[in-house]
């Protein structure tokens, strides 16, 4: 079973690697965007799925990563990825450290609201002050480069680099999940009281997870800013925090590949309901279709997309059980 | 008794919840090699006492000493790492994990190394070998790969003890380890406690009086948050105050 899961992930990454061979410009741009979402979703999966911390302000870290990439870039020449990327990640992680230090003192629904509040604070700072260009946002003058090796202004280079970031993030979180740190996070998710009684100071663990998560969201934000060459306050809005939460729920909480699947499913659904070819004038109201399909998927797929094979298996086994019981009663 | 054998001592512990006094100047000490039972009706403050001794909640007044050190200000995790293990009245295991992983994760508390993220937790030899040892000691070695949530009630209680032992504590605070157990499971648990007693100091909160009087070396009787007697089981049995207040005789 584990081998099957690994095979699925490898096949998915191989498909992404080969995709540019068959895709046009639009396809490459679309999948780049989805891969950025997938990194973003993975960052939240570490908090929600692994540690059991429902953060409703993840967009703040995404946005700070994006704004840092733009604000730190020099006006005249192309910045180097070598320092701009780490700087963006660190900026997001630093904010996450502060937000986490304060919000992790609360629990449950209060934690959700406090993380939302901190994200809204960040949103209004860029929305209402000239710091980040206000509501208009700001442009990234020159796309980052890595010497002469890599120029992220080229869509294909950006695609490859984003895929590399996604694979590395996935591998990093995979390693983390089976390490002692990751097992401790899973223990906190399962039973924090028992973890403390056993001798784990859970607060530093949660704060570390929160900070790492913020850094990864910052990486996604950096890539998004580079892709669009533009940032605006909407990147920090609670809509995006909600959307990324929906992605991991749609994909299936508690599994890294759930974040991957969820990001793709969400983006494809969005694209589908926006398509005028399918829905004509209704395409303007794509939120409605997307919302309904998400409600339907939560009702029908309680374990998310990753749970579908198990659900089918249960259904088949359950059906044969029911038949067996029927025979006995006859 | 050699005073250095007192592993845990609570002095004048008081806990108030608003106007309610849940614990009123409770003192007790636990010595290595003994089982010290705390009995009392529901609401007498037994669980509050365990929660304060283990550091889950702070006392309003009073002092807790662990292995000769004042630990009143210490957090629960710090006390746990210093050698204090506890079990809960309700099962507090990790239901989604295997029996082995429940034990291994508990053992990891003394070998945390959270920064070594590249190494699999399964490769932590110290915690895996302790996990095997405690699972065997608690009689669970044949079900290491079973999901803990699927164990019988009695087995879950055994697993609780195994997880407690995995941190290699010197003091065990056990909150009703026999609750809901069948006769056979009770015997097995009592045999295990009897064996554990040799190198631990055990505080036992328990409602099963037969079990308490069989295994305890000291019995503390609590009524309404206060201690009315601390003595040997034989003396407690004949103590007139205890008979009136707790055993229900007039």
The reply to whether residue A197 touches residue B76, judged by beta carbons under 8 angstroms, is yes
- In a shared domain, residues B5 and B67: yes
The pLDDT, as a whole number, for residue A323 is: 52
- In a shared domain, residues B65 and B8: yes
Which residue in chain A has the smallest CA separation from B56?
A197
With a cut of 50, say whether residue B76 has pLDDT above it.
yes
- In a shared domain, residues B108 and B31: no
Using 50, 70 and 90 to split pLDDT, how confident is the model at A327? very low
The reply to whether residue A187 touches residue B78, judged by beta carbons under 8 angstroms, is no
Averaged pLDDT, A153-174: 96
Partners of residue B81 in chain A, C-beta under 8 Å:
199
Cβ of residue A41 closer than 8 Å to a chain B Cβ = no
The reply to whether residue B119 touches residue A180, judged by beta carbons under 8 angstroms, is yes
- Taking the CA of residue B164 and the nearest CA in chain A, the distance in Å comes to 7
The reply to whether residue A199 touches residue B86, judged by beta carbons under 8 angstroms, is no
The pLDDT, as a whole number, for residue A321 is: 59
Domain endpoint, select from B168, B197, B220: B168
Domain endpoint, select from B168, B186, B215: B168
Cβ of residue B95 closer than 8 Å to a chain A Cβ = yes
**Dist. CA B68–CA B51, nearest whole Å:** 19
Q: Which domain holds residue B55?
A: 1-83+170-250
Distances in whole angstroms, Cα of residue B61 to Cα of each of B24, B50, B71, B105, B221: 9, 15, 13, 34, 21
**Dist. CA B207–CA A28, nearest whole Å:** 68
Lowest pLDDT segment from A186-190, A204-208, A306-310, B53-57: A306-310
- In a shared domain, residues B162 and B231: no
Which helix (H) or strand (E) covers residue A122, if one does? Answer: helix A108-128
Of A172, A183, A193, the CB nearest to B121: A183
The pLDDT, as a whole number, for residue B246 is: 66
What are the helix and strand counts (H, E) for chain B? 9, 10
**What ipTM does this complex have?**
0.89
Strand order across the B171-175 sheet: B84-87, B171-175, B201-205, B35-40, B218-223, B226-231
Contact A57, A124 (CB under 8 A): no
Domain locations along chain A: 19-329
Using 50, 70 and 90 to split pLDDT, how confident is the model at B249? low
Question: What pTM did the predictor assign?
Answer: 0.91
Counting every residue written for chain B, the total comes to 250
Residue B31: give its domain's CATH number: 3.40.50.300
The reply to whether residue B78 touches residue A175, judged by beta carbons under 8 angstroms, is no
Cβ of residue A282 closer than 8 Å to a chain B Cβ = no
- In a shared domain, residues B184 and B249: yes
**Dist. CA A140–CA A323, nearest whole Å:** 64
> pLDDT, tens digit, for every residue of A265-288?
999 999 999 888 888 888 888 888
- In a shared domain, residues B216 and B143: no
SS3 helix, strand, coil % of chain B, rounded to 5? 40, 25, 35
The pLDDT, as a whole number, for residue A322 is: 53
What the block records as the tokens of A145 is 């480069």
Residue from B147, B142, B148, B214 nearest B178 by CA? B214
Domain endpoint, select from B113, B142, B168: B168
Instruction: Report chain B's mean pLDDT, rounded to a whole number.
Output: 91
- In a shared domain, residues B42 and B56: yes
Q: How many domains, chain B?
A: 2
Give contacts of A 181-200 with B, CB under 8 A: 181-184, 186-187, 190-191, 193-194, 196-200
> pLDDT, tens digit, for every residue of B154-185?
899 899 999 999 999 999 999 999 988 888 88
Give the residue, B116 or A123, on which the prediction is more confident. Answer: A123
- Taking the CA of residue A181 and the nearest CA in chain B, the distance in Å comes to 4
Helix B153-166 × helix B125-137 angle, to 10°: 140
With a cut of 80, say whether residue B2 has pLDDT above it.
no
- In a shared domain, residues B96 and B69: no
- Taking the CA of residue B112 and the nearest CA in chain A, the distance in Å comes to 7
Partners of residue B117 in chain A, C-beta under 8 Å:
172, 175-176, 179, 181-182
Of the options 1.10.12, 1.10.10, 3.30.230, 1.10.3470, the CATH number for the domain spanning A19-329: 1.10.3470
The reply to whether residue B106 touches residue A198, judged by beta carbons under 8 angstroms, is yes
Give the residue, B244 or A234, on which the prediction is more confident. Answer: A234
């Amino acid at each position: 079973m584990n081998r099957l899961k690994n095979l699925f992930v490898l096949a998915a990454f191989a498909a992404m690697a080969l995709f540019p061979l068959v895709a046009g410009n639009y396809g490459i741009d679309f999948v780049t965007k989805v891969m950025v979402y997938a990194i973003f979703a993975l960052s939240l999966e570490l908090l929600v799925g692994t540690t059991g911390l429902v953060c409703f302000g993840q967009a703040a870290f995404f946005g700070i990563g994006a704004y840092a990439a733009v604000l730190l870039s020099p006006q005249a020449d192309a910045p180097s990825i070598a320092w701009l990327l780490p700087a963006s990640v660190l900026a997001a992680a630093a904010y996450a450290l502060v937000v986490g230090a304060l919000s992790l003192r609360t629990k449950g629904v209060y934690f959700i609201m406090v993380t939302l509040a901190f994200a809204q604070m960040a949103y209004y700072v860029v929305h209402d002050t000239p710091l980040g260009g206000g509501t208009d946002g700001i442009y990234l003058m020159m796309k980052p480069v890595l010497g002469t090796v890599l120029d992220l202004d080229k869509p294909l280079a950006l695609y490859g680099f984003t895929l590399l970031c996604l694979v590395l993030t996935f591998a990093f979180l995979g390693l983390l999940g089976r390490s002692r740190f990751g097992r401790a996070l899973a223990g906190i998710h399962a039973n924090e009281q028992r973890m403390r009684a056993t001798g784990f100071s859970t607060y530093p663990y949660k704060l570390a997870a929160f900070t790492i998560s913020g850094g990864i969201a910052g990486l996604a934000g950096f890539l998004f800013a580079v892709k669009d060459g533009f940032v605006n306050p909407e990147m920090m809005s609670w809509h995006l925090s909600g959307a990324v939460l929906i992605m991991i729920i749609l994909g299936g909480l508690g599994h890294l590949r759930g974040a991957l699947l969820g990001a793709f499913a969400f983006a494809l659904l969005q694209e589908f309901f926006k398509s005028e070819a399918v829905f004509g004038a209704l395409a303007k109201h794509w939120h409605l279709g997307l919302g309904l399909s998400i409600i339907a998927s939560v009702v029908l797929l309680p374990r998310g997309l990753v749970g579908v094979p198990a659900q089918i298996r249960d259904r088949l086994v359950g059906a044969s059980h029911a038949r067996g019981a029927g025979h006995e009663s006859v | 008794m050699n005073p250095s054998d007192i592993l845990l001592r609570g002095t004048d512990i008081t806990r108030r919840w608003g106007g309610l006094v849940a614990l009123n100047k409770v003192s007790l000490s636990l010595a290595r090699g003994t089982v010290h039972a705390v009995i009392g009706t529901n609401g007498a403050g037994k669980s509050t006492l365990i929660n304060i001794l283990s550091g889950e909640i702070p006392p309003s007044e009073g002092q807790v000493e662990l292995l000769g050190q004042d630990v009143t200000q210490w957090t629960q995790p710090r006390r746990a790492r210093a050698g204090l293990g506890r079990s809960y009245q309700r099962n507090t295991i990790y239901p989604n994990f295997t029996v082995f992983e429940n034990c291994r994760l508990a053992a990891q508390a003394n070998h945390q190394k959270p920064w070594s993220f590249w190494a699999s937790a399964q490769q932590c030899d110290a915690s895996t070998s302790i996990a095997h040892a405690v699972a065997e000691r608690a009689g669970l070695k044949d079900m290491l790969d079973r999901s803990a949530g699927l164990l019988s009630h009695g087995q879950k209680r055994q697993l609780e003890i195994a997880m407690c032992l995995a941190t290699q504590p010197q003091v065990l605070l056990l909150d009703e380890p026999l609750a809901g157990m069948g006769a056979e499971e009770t015997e097995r648990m009592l045999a295990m406690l009897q064996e554990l007693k040799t190198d631990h100091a055990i505080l036992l909160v328990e409602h099963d009086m037969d079990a308490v009087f069989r295994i305890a070396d000291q019995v503390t009787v609590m009524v309404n948050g206060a201690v009315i007697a601390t003595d040997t089981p034989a003396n407690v049995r004949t103590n007139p105050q205890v008979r009136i207040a707790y055993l229900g005789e007039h």
